[in-house]
Every structure is written in structure tokens, then in C-alpha cells.
């Protein structure tokens, strides 16, 4: 299986290449991609240089243009596709049918990958993307079990990539407006979720309160570790109970399922984390690369350090196991 690695900066990109990535994915410094954070992403020149660096080491570069085009400003997304195609990127990762149609028509030779944000979760959906836009690979939404994936890969003539490590969306990706409901900014429209610009922390007596927009996302007692107020990882009140209503502050780790995913016909494993620093990227990529080559019994030890670097310092295999539902 290929290892697809994130890069939010040119230096993280080089670290990922050096650490053994088969492909590195990244985005332009604007709202055309779903990690549109301050200080992150690539200028045209930086991407050109990065592609050159990767190519020398026989590593592929994928460019994510995985937000939805804003009505009237489609040109921003078209130019990004034009420029990436002209630079010779190995694949474009797209979510919006309108942009897929543009790329399929204008650059029929360009490899088109379907972003997780497109939410293609079944064989007819994937067949539609193959027939309509010539999709070569689909990144599956984090809503399927390993068994579902195995069934799917047998039914379709398209490579399948799945998320293996990093941040975990609890909701079907690309179909979630929770962030914009609270802040006005969303993954689909602005390339951000629970943006830092709308985060506040305040002290209420001895309790630390984290807020997103006007809403309290969590309250931490003095002896509790606090965390970033990602909306779907907050604590809420339902009836007379309270707790993590959607998901605990955990991140995804499917190292224990590597063989099952391989047997299921998965072509590539994706690491989330374009917003993470270069040291993190280097560590995660090299550890997972070693884990992929190792015997199953050795894997846990190889990645145990990574788990301490994860969000909430705890991990889950998420929807890949049926009991998560």
C-alpha cells in the first residue's frame, strides 16, 4: 500500500519525502483547499520547487483542491487547477462536481482523485465519479467498516485510499455545516473547521471554558487536560446527562488494521495533518513506513510513540470497526 503524507509547508514537504512518503499531498495558500489556515500551504513557486524535490526522489505530489467553488468566484478554483496541471502534479484531489467536470474536460490526461469531501461511500457513487469524470482513485469517507471497504473494492474498478492516522471527522466529510452554523466559516466554503479566529478560552472560577463563536464547547475542571474546541469533540448536555455527545477528543489510528485493509484491496493509506509541524510529519511518516514493512506483532511498538503525539493522546479505529457506530 502507498503511504500518502500531508504537508502544510515546504519544509514539512521535504521531511515527508525524506521520511519515506510514496506521495505527498498539499494545497495552495487560499480557500481552494480544506486546510486554509493562516501561515499554511504553498505559493505557486513553492509548489513548483517541492514537486521538483519530490520527483528527484521518485515521490509523487498530489494537490488538494477540495473545497466547493464559491458562486461567482469559480475562476479562483479553475486557475488553481490550471496551475497545478501545468506544473505536472501527479494527481488533483477534488470534491466539487463542477471542478471535476472542468478538469476532466480540459485536462483529460490529468489523474483525478476524489477527495473524502465528496462523500463517495458506495459503489454506485464511485461508479458515477468514474463514468462522469474519469476518477482514478477515491478517498473513502470515514463512515465504512473494513468489511464494507473489502466489499466495495471488489465491486469497483477504481483505486481506494483510506485515512489511516491523524484527525478524525465524526461526521461524513463534506456534508457537515456544524462549524459554519456556529461561526459562519465551514470546511466546504472556507476550508476551515472550528476556526481559531472564533475560539475563546475564559476562566469561570476554577473552570476553564472553551468557546467556539458564542457557544461553549467544553468546560475543564482544574485537574483536567484542556483541548481545542473542535465542535464535534465537545462536551454537551442531553436530557439530564452530559458528556462527549459525538466523539471523545481522540484521533484515528488504524495501525492494528493494516493487514485487514491490505487484504480489503486498499491501494493507499492517508495520513491526516497538513496543519501539523514538520517534526510531527517526519515522525509519523517514518514510523508508519516502518510499521508497513514490519511484522504485525512489531507494529504496535513502532507506533506507540505516535499515539502520545495524537489529539487527546488517545486513538480510535473509528468507523473501521462496526462497534463504533
* DSSP string computed for 12-24: HHHHHHHHT-SEE
* Segment 230 to 259, residues that bind another protein, using CB under 8 A: 232, 234-239, 241-242, 245-247
CB 208 within 8 A of CB 220: yes
The CA angle 109-114-116, to the nearest 5 degrees, is: 160
Per-residue contact track with another protein, 284 to 323, x per CB under 8 A? -----------------------------------x--xx
Contact call for residue 144 and another protein (CB under 8 A): yes
Contact call for residue 39 and another protein (CB under 8 A): no
CB 112 within 8 A of CB 135: yes
- For the CB of residue 178, give the shortest distance to another protein in the complex, in Å: 5
Angle between helices 10-19 and 44-56 (to 10 degrees): 10
Locate 127 and state its grid cell: 461508479
Report the SS3 class of residue 208.
strand
Per-residue contact track with another protein, 170 to 199, x per CB under 8 A? xxx-xxxxx-xxxxx-x-xx----------
- For the CB of residue 124, give the shortest distance to another protein in the complex, in Å: 4
Contact call for residue 219 and another protein (CB under 8 A): yes
Contact call for residue 9 and another protein (CB under 8 A): no
> 27-46 burial by CB neighbour count: b if 16+ within 10 A, else e?
bbbbbbbbbbeeebbbeeeb
Binding part of the chain for another protein, among 57-65, 158-166, 229-237, 249-257 by CB under 8 A, reads: 229-237
Contacting residue, 1, 85, 87, 125, with another protein by CB under 8 A: 125
Q: Which is nearer to another protein, 110 or 121 (CB)?
A: 121
| C-alpha 11: how far from chain center | 19
Contact call for residue 156 and another protein (CB under 8 A): no
- For the CB of residue 52, give the shortest distance to another protein in the complex, in Å: 32
Contact call for residue 215 and another protein (CB under 8 A): yes
Number of residues in contact with another protein under rule CB under 8 A: 74
Locate 11 and state its grid cell: 519544509
Contact call for residue 96 and another protein (CB under 8 A): yes
Contacting residue, 9, 121, 153, 194, with another protein by CB under 8 A: 121
Contact call for residue 228 and another protein (CB under 8 A): no
Integer Cα distance of 77 and 75 in angstroms = 5
CB 158 within 8 A of CB 130: yes
Integer Cα distance of 255 and 294 in angstroms = 11
Binding part of the chain for another protein, among 18-26, 215-223, 291-299, 306-314 by CB under 8 A, reads: 215-223
> In which residue are the cell numbers 479566529 written?
197
Binding part of the chain for another protein, among 16-24, 116-124, 258-266, 274-282 by CB under 8 A, reads: 116-124
CB 5 within 8 A of CB 35: no
Contact call for residue 131 and another protein (CB under 8 A): yes
* Segment 50 to 79, residues that bind another protein, using CB under 8 A: 68-72, 74
- For the CB of residue 150, give the shortest distance to another protein in the complex, in Å: 12
Binding part of the chain for another protein, among 211-219, 251-259, 279-287, 301-309 by CB under 8 A, reads: 211-219
- For the CB of residue 174, give the shortest distance to another protein in the complex, in Å: 6
CB 213 within 8 A of CB 198: yes
- For the CB of residue 90, give the shortest distance to another protein in the complex, in Å: 24
The CA angle 114-262-53, to the nearest 5 degrees, is: 60
Integer Cα distance of 93 and 305 in angstroms = 30
Non-local (6+) Cβ contacts of 121 within 8 A are: 140, 141, 143, 144, 172
Amino acid at each position: 500500500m502507498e503511504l500518502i503524507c500531508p504537508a502544510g509547508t515546504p519544509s514539512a514537504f521535504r521531511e515527508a519525502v525524506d521520511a519515506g512518503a510514496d506521495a505527498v499531498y498539499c494545497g495552495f495558500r487560499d480557500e481552494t483547499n480544506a486546510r486554509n489556515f493562516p501561515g499554511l500551504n504553498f505559493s505557486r513557486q513553492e509548489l513548483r520547487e517541492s514537486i521538483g524535490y519530490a520527483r528527484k526522489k521518485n515521490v509523487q505530489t498530489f494537490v488538494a483542491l477540495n473545497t466547493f467553488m464559491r458562486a461567482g468566484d469559480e475562476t479562483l478554483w479553475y486557475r488553481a487547477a490550471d496551475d497545478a496541471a501545468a506544473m505536472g502534479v501527479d494527481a488533483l484531489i477534488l470534491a466539487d462536481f463542477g471542478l471535476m467536470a472542468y478538469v476532466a474536460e480540459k485536462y483529460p490526461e490529468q489523474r483525478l482523485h476524489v477527495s473524502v469531501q465528496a462523500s463517495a461511500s458506495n459503489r454506485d457513487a464511485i461508479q458515477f465519479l468514474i463514468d462522469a469524470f474519469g476518477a482514478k482513485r477515491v478517498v473513502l469517507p470515514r463512515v465504512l467498516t473494513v468489511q464494507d471497504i473489502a466489499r466495495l473494492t471488489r465491486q469497483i474498478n477504481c483505486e481506494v485510499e483510506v485515512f489511516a492516522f491523524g484527525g478524525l471527522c465524526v461526521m461524513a466529510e463534506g456534508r457537515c455545516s456544524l462549524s459554519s452554523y456556529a461561526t459562519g466559516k465551514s470546511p466546504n466554503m472556507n476550508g476551515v473547521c472550528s476556526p481559531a479566529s472564533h475560539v475563546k478560552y475564559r476562566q469561570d472560577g476554577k473552570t476553564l471554558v472553551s468557546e467556539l463563536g458564542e457557544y461553549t464547547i467544553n468546560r475543564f475542571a482544574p485537574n483536567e487536560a484542556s483541548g481545542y474546541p473542535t465542535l464535534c469533540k465537545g462536551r454537551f448536555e442531553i436530557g439530564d446527562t452530559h458528556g462527549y455527545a459525538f466523539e471523545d477528543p481522540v484521533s484515528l489510528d488504524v495501525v492494528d488494521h493494516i493487514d485487514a485493509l491490505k487484504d480489503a484491496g486498499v491501494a493507499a493509506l492517508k495520513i491526516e495533518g497538513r496543519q501539523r509541524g514538520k517534526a510531527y510529519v517526519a515522525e509519523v511518516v517514518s514510523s508508519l513506513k516502518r510499521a508497513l514493512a514490519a511484522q504485525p506483532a512489531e507494529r504496535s511498538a513502532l507506533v506507540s510513540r505516535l499515539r502520545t503525539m495524537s489529539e487527546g493522546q488517545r486513538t480510535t479505529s473509528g468507523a473501521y470497526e462496526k462497534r463504533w457506530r
